[in-house]
Structure 1
């Protein structure tokens, strides 16, 4: 019983942590915010049906270290490829998950494709 209770408490903490990332879902708003704050844009292309995207949401983006680095250094934009086909085509986000780092003018700086553990992502951003 203790193991189950501890596990449940851990899950509750992860939910709290996961919800602390505030993603924008409007490309134009994110570009304007990046220009105003002089930050890069971290674009996370995902789909609800993508198992690795769900894993990134539950594991990678739940990491406090990842959250801290992302929120301090980037405007965060999360785009569903099914709801935003023009953006996914523009940036050729065909494999999921795809992360694209943009400058404040919307120009691509870096591209990361596939599932990234917290450690892998931190080493690339």
Structure 2
């Protein structure tokens, strides 16, 4: 079964995005967060979501508690929070919370 090709380093993902001129999809989660679990086990396993994310983004998924520098840098106040950045590192869109697969895809479309 296909899955999202998550990276585990913000810096590496941003470098890859610059090289490939692609956007970055950053998901910040926390272990034990029910909405984070649902997002990862329900939305991120949807074939349409997997295809959209892998084809259009450099996806990176980070535990917010272990990456407080990123949480503070982008003023994230809850988990899960998904942020989309251009290849230049500029934030284009953010959508906090859980989204069903159809709603998640709509949020990705809003990101441009």
TM-score using structure 1 length: 0.83
The aligned length equals 108
Identify the residue that residue 99 of structure 1 maps to in structure 2: 82
Whole-angstrom CA distance in 1 between matches of 2:65 and 2:78:
13
Structure 1 residues without counterparts, runs of 5 or longer? 1-15
Misfit runs of 4+, over 3 Å: none
The root-mean-square deviation of aligned C-alpha atoms, in Å, is: 0.9
Whole-angstrom CA distance in 2 between matches of 1:92 and 1:77:
17
More helix per residue: 1
TM-score using structure 2 length: 0.92
Offset of 1:96 from its aligned partner?
1.1
Identify the residue that residue 123 of structure 1 maps to in structure 2: 106
Offset of 1:107 from its aligned partner?
1.0
CA deviations on 1:16-73 (whole Å, 9 max, x unpaired) are: 45xx222111111001100111110000010112110000111000100000000000
Structure 2 residues without counterparts, runs of 5 or longer? none
Whole-angstrom CA distance in 2 between matches of 1:115 and 1:27:
21
